[in-house]
Amino acid sequence: MILSLCGVRAPLDPSNADVDVVGIGNALVDVLSHESEEFIDSLGVSKGAMTLIDEERAGEIYDLTGPAVEISGGSAANTMVGVAAMGGRAEYLGKVRDDQLGHVFAHDIRATGVTYEVPLAAAGPATGCCLILVTPDAQRTMNTYLGASVHLGPDDVDEHRIARASVLYLEGYLFDPPEAQEAFRVAARYAHEAGRVVSATLSDGFCVERHHDAFLDLVENHVDLLFANEAEILALYGTDDFDVALSRVREHVEVAALTRSAKGSVVATADRVIEIPAEPIDELVDTTGAGDLYASGFLHGFSRGADLQDCGRLGSLAASEVISHLGARPEGDLAAQSAAVLGG
Amino acid sequence: MILSLCGVRAPLDPSNADVDVVGIGNALVDVLSHESEEFIDSLGVSKGAMTLIDEERAGEIYDLTGPAVEISGGSAANTMVGVAAMGGRAEYLGKVRDDQLGHVFAHDIRATGVTYEVPLAAAGPATGCCLILVTPDAQRTMNTYLGASVHLGPDDVDEHRIARASVLYLEGYLFDPPEAQEAFRVAARYAHEAGRVVSATLSDGFCVERHHDAFLDLVENHVDLLFANEAEILALYGTDDFDVALSRVREHVEVAALTRSAKGSVVATADRVIEIPAEPIDELVDTTGAGDLYASGFLHGFSRGADLQDCGRLGSLAASEVISHLGARPEGDLAAQSAAVLGG
């Protein structure tokens, strides 16, 4: 069975797939603490963005933060956990060290039903972590020490694992570790050679600026389905006009899913633009993981052959769940909600 | 200034105290996951109780649990964090290893304002952890791997640190590690020699049964202020009649603060019995830390010379906050609530 999804360049063919979505990203443990606006200012970091930090700086910031909670994170890892929570078959590739937090990461992702078989690094830097500072307005400001995740290289990207998944999902943050960019391209090649769909998220506006030309090449030449928020897509096309960016991206990818926070999302192909409203929520607690879980919902629907409207709706559903509590991974029963949308 | 608190054997004298409460206990990192009733049954453990496990068994149970959250724990450590959160000066003595979770423990307790200066162990077992399985009825079932905490011994109990605090607080769980029982007695002696109040909690009914005679000796001969829940005080006196246990404990300690879950608490001295209602809460989420935080509130009031009624009220307030969210340490603004009760 070939599902022709609005003329996606690589038509989705789940008939010979053992996995729905395989994600690749920086494997991190999140360290979440509640902090004041003044504290964010005092660190000199951009509020709401992700700043890369080295081990020493991580120690300095950690010493200054309040009591924290440790929860497994990593953008694409969160997305794969969301896919599994919705009932999808997900696999994850990302590198941790053989240390306490590495075991926490491996335990948590496997416990959600995601396949995770990357060997833990026996030497080198510690498992990476992301110091996430949550301000009273529920915004998160992230400081990432990549640690062991920088050692994910092309050798860790097993051709068989890529080829057996309907959709490949790549996080833009992978452009920061030098070896990982190559892993990114190798994975995209394996996926296309196997007739799979390649999806990616731009992850962060500053990350797009740091690696602008590489991102543009990726989007123009390798990606079928692109996720981005407003800041990221504007950064990619060097414009401050969303409509300009939207028309550009529709020339470059088969499907673009652009999230706009409380305004919901826009799903666009060459010949359609669909506006998806955000799901109403009772209380906004922590926006960490909103984009990651939007991608979960969308990818789950997409890998099951849902129409793009329903893909977007599933994205909104999953995002609304994760922003209603602290942490970037779902706690609620997404499988039931997802089944209701998919009619399954 | 000598505050005579209902004739407490060691009258409270905060005039020359640099610290309000110093707590000693097993230093642990909690690993919290949501699990089903069937899962608890399948483990063959007593629901709601604490079971001691070795490293191998910890690994086995951890492999079976769902995705988890890591939060610093340890009963007396939680209590000291609560005292600090209410505006008190608290110090903690407990042992972790120099590993990732040990650093998490040290960071979190210091970040709350508790003084914690015990050196991290450079060798020996890893930092201890408590696998806390939270069932849908908000009850917690605990499986504790003591790890490095067993190496807290008499040498770690610095006489100066005990003597400078108005109240010493000892957790009953300390009776499990063999060396710690001796640390317990040494600390009580230092405190009494310095004219301080010695308080303790029985911690767990099964723990009381494991070390029954030692607990009875402790209560009869060393403790001025005793915390216990219903199951624990019944276990101590080998009765199933609460009134029998109540009359016995009033002969043995100056003040007994007995918690009874939703029924509130009973605070008793030789000549008074005060019933304190539980604070109403919106939603019961996780009972982890209820007893620990009751002790925080009570001790904070007690160390500030509040009357026993207000001590109990502060205990109920702090307990109600911690059972309204996941985890055993307070998130809300206990300082403001506490100041309102104390009129300060």
Which span out of A2-11, A40-49, A147-156 was modeled with the highest average pLDDT?
A40-49
Residues of chain A in Cβ contact (below 8 Å) with chain B: 33-34, 62-63, 65-72, 81, 99-101, 104, 107-109, 111-112, 126-127, 327, 329, 331
Give the mutation candidate from A61, A62, A100 for the B interface (greatest B CB count, under 10 A).
A100
Q: How far is B53 from chain A (nearest CA, A)?
A: 18
CB A158 within 8 A of CB A67: no
Nearest to A69 among B71, B99, B100 (CB): B71
Show the tokens assigned to A197.
């769909």
User: Percentage of chain A surpassing pLDDT 90?
Assistant: 78
pTM: 0.91
Q: Which residues pair with B141 in a beta bridge?
A: B133
**Chain A partners within 8 Å of B136 (Cβ):** none
**Chain B partners within 8 Å of A109 (Cβ):** 67
**Chain B partners within 8 Å of A99 (Cβ):** 100
Instruction: Test A104 with B65 for CB contact under 8 angstroms.
Output: no
Rounded to whole angstroms, the Cα distance separating A106 from A96 reads: 8
CB B322 within 8 A of CB B301: no
Question: What are the distances in angstroms from CA B300 to CA A213, A305, B243, B334?
Answer: 59, 60, 27, 11
Count interface pairs A-B at CB distance under 8 A. Answer: 61
Q: Which residue of B lies nearest to A85 if distances are taken between CA atoms?
A: B67
**Chain A partners within 8 Å of B329 (Cβ):** 67
Q: According to the CATH classification, is domain A14-26+74-124+149-342 in 3.90.1150.10? A: no
Instruction: Test A81 with B67 for CB contact under 8 angstroms.
Output: yes
Q: What is the pLDDT of residues A172-221, one digit of tens each?
A: 999 888 788 888 889 999 999 999 999 999 999 999 999 999 999 999 99
Instruction: Test A327 with B69 for CB contact under 8 angstroms.
Output: yes
**Arithmetic mean of pLDDT, A323-336:** 85
Instruction: Test B72 with A67 for CB contact under 8 angstroms.
Output: yes
Give the mutation candidate from A61, A63, A70 for the B interface (greatest B CB count, under 10 A).
A70
Q: How far is B130 from chain A (nearest CA, A)?
A: 14
Nearest to A101 among B100, B107, B329 (CB): B100
Q: Which residue of A lies nearest to B71 if distances are taken between CA atoms?
A: A69
Rounded to whole angstroms, the Cα distance separating B297 from B334 reads: 9
Rounded to whole angstroms, the Cα distance separating A261 from B138 reads: 33
Q: Which residue of A lies nearest to B328 if distances are taken between CA atoms?
A: A69
**Chain B partners within 8 Å of A327 (Cβ):** 69
Rounded to whole angstroms, the Cα distance separating B200 from B187 reads: 11
- Which amino acid is residue A200, in one-letter code? A
Q: How far is A70 from chain B (nearest CA, A)?
A: 5
Nearest to B67 among A62, A65, A112 (CB): A112
**Arithmetic mean of pLDDT, A13-35:** 93
Instruction: Test A65 with B111 for CB contact under 8 angstroms.
Output: yes
CB B26 within 8 A of CB B177: yes
**Chain B partners within 8 Å of A107 (Cβ):** 62-63, 65, 67-68
Q: Domain spans of chain A?
A: 14-26+74-124+149-342
Nearest to A100 among B68, B71, B100 (CB): B100
Nearest to B112 among A67, A104, A109 (CB): A67
Rounded to whole angstroms, the Cα distance separating B109 from B102 reads: 11
The count of other CB atoms within 10 Å of the CB of residue A262 is 9
Instruction: Test A69 with B68 for CB contact under 8 angstroms.
Output: no
Instruction: Test B69 with A68 for CB contact under 8 angstroms.
Output: no
Q: How confident is the model at residue A10 (pLDDT cuts 50, 70, 90)?
A: low
Quote the pLDDT of residue A255.
Answer: 97
Rounded to whole angstroms, the Cα distance separating B269 from B255 reads: 5
Residue with tokens 């890998």: A303
Rounded to whole angstroms, the Cα distance separating A4 from A126 reads: 44
DSSP-derived secondary structure letter, A172: G
Instruction: Test B71 with A72 for CB contact under 8 angstroms.
Output: no
Q: How confident is the model at residue A288 (pLDDT cuts 50, 70, 90)?
A: confident
Instruction: Test B68 with A111 for CB contact under 8 angstroms.
Output: yes
Q: Which residue of A lies nearest to B33 if distances are taken between CA atoms?
A: A108
Quote the pLDDT of residue B343.
Answer: 80
Question: What are the distances in angstroms from CA B104 to CA A289, B98, B195?
Answer: 23, 10, 35
Return the CATH superfamily for domain B14-27+74-126+149-342: Ribokinase (3.40.1190.20)
Written as tens digits, the pLDDT of chain B (344 aa) is: 233 444 455 567 777 899 999 999 999 999 999 999 999 999 999 999 899 999 999 999 999 999 999 999 999 999 999 999 999 999 999 999 999 999 999 999 999 999 999 999 999 999 999 999 999 998 999 999 999 999 888 888 999 999 999 999 999 999 888 788 888 889 999 999 999 999 999 999 999 999 999 999 999 999 999 999 999 999 999 999 999 999 999 999 999 999 999 899 999 999 999 999 999 998 888 888 999 999 999 999 999 999 999 999 999 999 999 998 888 888 878 888 888 888 85
Rounded to whole angstroms, the Cα distance separating A261 from A105 reads: 28
**Chain B partners within 8 Å of A63 (Cβ):** 107
Instruction: Test B67 with A100 for CB contact under 8 angstroms.
Output: no
Question: What are the distances in angstroms from CA A153 to CA A89, A150, A178, B120, B238?
Answer: 24, 8, 9, 35, 63
Q: How far is B219 from chain A (nearest CA, A)?
A: 34
Nearest to B69 among A69, A101, A109 (CB): A69
Q: What is the pLDDT of residues B161-173, one digit of tens each?
A: 999 999 999 999 9
CB B255 within 8 A of CB B295: no
Rounded to whole angstroms, the Cα distance separating A14 from A194 reads: 11
